[in-house]
Every structure is written in structure tokens, then in C-alpha cells.
Structure 1
Amino acid sequence: MDQALERRLGPVVRALLWTAVGGYLSFVLGGQMTGTSAAPLWLRLAPVVPLTLLALLGLLHRAPRHYGALGLAALAWLELGIFLNGYARPEGLSWILPAYTLLPIAASPIWLKRRHFVAAAVICTLLGPLPLLWLEPPGPWQMFQYADYMVIAVVVAAVLNGYQVRLIRQHLELEERLRLRADVDELTGVATRARFLEQARSLLVKAIDSGTSLAVLYMDADHFKQLNDNHGHAAGDAALASMGHILREHLRGHDLIGRIGGEEFAVLLPGLDAEAARATAERLRRAVTLQRSAGQALSISIGVAVHGEETALEPLLARADQALAAAKRGGRNRVEVAG
């Protein structure tokens, strides 16, 4: 979740890094037009170089784990720049106080980790202003103003930061729930038809490229309409849920299982030939026959097909479906392998 949060925050971090470059330039030029500083102009402009490099790093190096470090580095350079522009100005602390108190609030969207927020608060409240306060001690009223405004700024930054992180987390959790609903069949716990077909095509391409075998099982619950008509849809749902559980329990972790239709399921078995796929299908068939729903025994018919010359998924599934139809014609509760 934290990595997803940082990825989502990436555009904000990059925008704020470039905003820091532009904002600092306007701060220096505005100060140049309105007063003087003991630091020469070239020295006051010097932080623009590292700030620009940090902004470029944000564009070129998009590893989410580095966003906090980039933000802290930019904040430190901004604090140094504010000091250089405020040192020995006639207006004293009052001229740069707004800049010092603005930084915690402006930077608050960047920090997703508590340690980064604490480090930023320390830089903003102590490490940045302290040199200027030491070299040019303010009067009691100015010191009170600084302390009061800075406390308010840090509190506001904490509120904004906490609200933003919570909002993004809730948004990501909602996205995850919607993704699962779209990808996973809620009743059976296996892949939905769309998700199965998408992943199955990828597995077929891998099998073709690597020259490995790939088997398909196409299965259908026997007499499912009769179960629904005699015992109701709740019994039918229970039977489908039981089948989904059996498939997940008896197949390998990298096998792909999907619910294709109402009571139809399909399975892709990477690396299995016809004999191994048939043995797997028989094991599944026997496991289903041990289950009952509404007092009625369950059974399935399974068609098996092994990838041959097919370059698309649909012909392979069609062969498995034809084998399933043959199993139905042969009396149901059986396995047929496509020729």
C-alpha cells in the first residue's frame, strides 16, 4: 500500500519540485527589487542550481522510495536560500517570516511517512531559521510572531498531510475492491471470464515462445438446471461455490482457473501434456463427486485439450469445449480428451 501511495504522489512531488525552482527565483528577484542583502546576488541565486537538479531527478528517476529524500533535500536548499536573502536586510525577520512559515504548509502534500514529516518540521522550524535568529537576534515581539506563526503553520501542515494520506489510502482501497470485483468471481473465488481470457492469452503466448506444453480443461456441472429448479438458486450457488473451492484446493498455484459461464469453468495447466492433464481432470472429477448440495450428489463433465498448432486461444478452447460435449453425450460425470 505504501508503494502505491508513493506512486500516486509522484506527479505532486514533481510539480512541487518545479514550483520550488520558480518560487525561489521570484523570491530572489523580488528581494533584489525591494531591498538589499549582505549576500551578493550570485550567491543568492546559487540554490537555483541544486533545486533544478532535484526537479530533474524527480523527472528522470521515478523510484517512489526516493520522493521523500528529494523533498527533504529541496526543503533544505530553500531554507538556505531564504537565509541568504534575508541576511542583513533592514526589514529584519519580518521580511522573510512569511517565507519561513509558508514552507511547512506548501511541502505538506509530499510527506507520506511520519519520519519524513518530522524531519521536514525540524528543518522548517529550527535548522533553517536558527542561523538567522542567531546572527540577527530579533526583538521579543518578532520572536513571539515567529514562534506563533510557525506553530500554526506546522499544525496546519500536519492536518493537511494527515487528511491527504487518509484520503489517498481510502481511494486506493476502493480501487482495490473494485479491481477484485472485476477480476475475481465473488461466488466461486476464481477469475472472471474477462480476466481469465486476458491471462489465458498471455499464457498461450508464453507456451508458444518457450515451446512448452499447455493443456486446457473445460468443465460443466452436470444436471445443474435440475438442481436449481428442484432446490432453488441458493442450492445452485452453494454447488458453484463448492466447485470453485475444490478447483482452488486441488490445482497448482500457477494454474489459471476461470468461471466462463453460469456453471462452466475453464482451467489452463501450463507444462502438462495430455496424459498429465487427463489425470488432473480425473482427480478434480472425483473430488467433486464427494460433494453434495441440498442432499443431491454433484458431478462434472470435463473436456481436455492440449495446445498443438493453435496460435490463438479461441480454437484451443473450442477443442476443449467439443471434448466436453462428447463427455456429456457419453453419459456425463466423465473426462474426454480432444483428439
Structure 2
Amino acid sequence: MEKSLQIVSVIALLVVQSVAIAQRVPNEVENVDFLVTFSKDSPLSWGDDDYTQTFFFVVPYSFKEPVYIRVLDPDVGGQYDEPKSKFDSYSKFSIYGGEGAHTDPDAQQIDPIGNFKSGTLLATKTFKNDPRYDGKWYTFGPFNPSQGENDPSVKGNVFKIICEGVKGDDGNLYRYFFSLDPNQNIEVEGANAFTYEYSFRLPQKNQIIAHIYPFIDEDVISITQHNFDFDYDGELVIYSVSKNRHKMARSPNLGWAYSTHEITPEEQNTTIDIQILKHGRVNNDMVFYLRNQYDRAIPFFTIPIGGPPKYKYKVNLSYLKD
């Protein structure tokens, strides 16, 4: 089995045994305001490196009811979105299931290249500046769980949703919710969502910590983090069972930064917490991804597997010895 799939295989056993807290993406525990996808003619300095974002939703095998993928504020204009001059952009949302939706290697890459739109197209819609959708939910579905890709590595059926900024130069800020109901947000028990590259808007208020949660499997001995366009706006640290605010490299405006960090045995098969403390800018959008020592992308889960990590303090009792 591919190492990149083994990451999720271990996790899936935990996912299906847990009780979902809420399928909002970004999740409340992440303290992230919105996902963000800019349209293809926007400046890279606004914080999106490839104008595309892919998320995956996992439905455990035990779940048989129809599901819906809901999008808050899918249009480009009005309440939440970010204009360059006037809102004249288009965002396209597409949902895929069936064979290869997740297991195709291109679907697990950082960049939207090759066959990243793998699988069977189940639904698609393109949105422009439209008051009918401004600040409101749009619902895709219903989808039978069997329409997702049957993926034994995650012990469930996987749906993929891709947002593309297909025209214009504005930023689309939005959220997802994986729901049992087309008209309200009711979580799908045991489900989770993940991505391999995270593009998001940090909290507007300063001194509020945002969190993103990768799961580190038993084969990982080091990770290399990559972040784009953070503008040196605060701190990036790792918090885990064995790291207490371990500092990471920070990116400038219109630039990347990366740093490599050893994974201790205690951190294997656990979630780590990447904490982002913003200091200055009101609006700051950034991109983040991780690779392991095999140069394979590590998924971020919106509901941290096993809950947020707790640092295990080590008390030195050597002074008590004779």
C-alpha cells in the first residue's frame, strides 16, 4: 500500500469509532475564519499560489443515509469576499466520487496538475457576483454514500470537492458543511474532512491562535512544512505530545518558507497542532502544506484525530537520587 494512503488508513479506524462534533470546514476547533480561493488573474501576493483548493469528505461504511455538501457564500461578491477593484470573478465548485476520486495519485498532490480531477463528476456549478447566494448556503446533493469512492484505506466512501477561481481577480471566501439535511447543517456521524494543501483566511482579530491538525502516522520520522505569503505576520509553532511551541520558518509577502522538523517516536500515530498566532494585518490569507521524509503530502484533518494534542511534561527527578 502507498505510504500516503497508509497515513489515512490508520486514521480511519479512529474516525469510524469516534463521534463527530460538527462537519463544518473549517471546523470550529481550528479557529480559522474561511477557506479562500482567488481567481486566476489575481496577484499571487494576495495569498493563493494556484487558485484551486481540494477537500475530501469521508463517509464511514456504516453510514447509509443520503448526504449533502453545503457551501456558505459560494458567490464572489458582497459580505465576505475580497475585491481587487469591482467584483467580476467566477468560482467553480465540482464534486467527484467513484473510482479514483481520492486514490488517484494526482488527487493527492499539492498542485492541481495531471489527473487531479479524477473520479466521476457528480455535480458542478459556477458562481459569480450574485446576491441570491451572498452570505447564504447553497446545497449540492443528495448523494448516496455509495457514489463516493469505495476506499478501503480510509474505511469509507470518499467525495472530493474542488473549488477553482476560473475567471477574474477577486478572492472568494467560503465554508463547507457536510450535512444530513439539504436545508440545515446536521452533521454526518463519524465523518471527517481533509485536505493536502490548505488555503485559508486567518482570524481578523490579532492574538487569536488558529490551528491546523495533521495526523502523523507510524512511518513518519520527519516533516517539512511549507507556508506561503504569511507576511511575517506573527508566529508559527508546533505543539504536540513532545513539542511545546516549537518554532517554524515564516514566509514573507509573495514568498514561500520551509523548515524540516524531526518527528519523535511519541508523536507517531498522533495528531500534531500547528498553531498560527497573527500579530498585525486585518486580512491575511495564506497557504500551508506538509511533506514527510518520502516527499509525500500529509493530510490535514478538520476534526483532529484523537482530539488536540496535550504536551506531556517531563519532570526531572534526578535530584532525588543519592
Q: Structure 2-normalised TM-score?
A: 0.24
More helix by share: 1
More strand by share: 2
- State the structure with bigger RCO (CA 8 A, min sep 6), 1 or 2: 2
Larger-Rg structure: 1
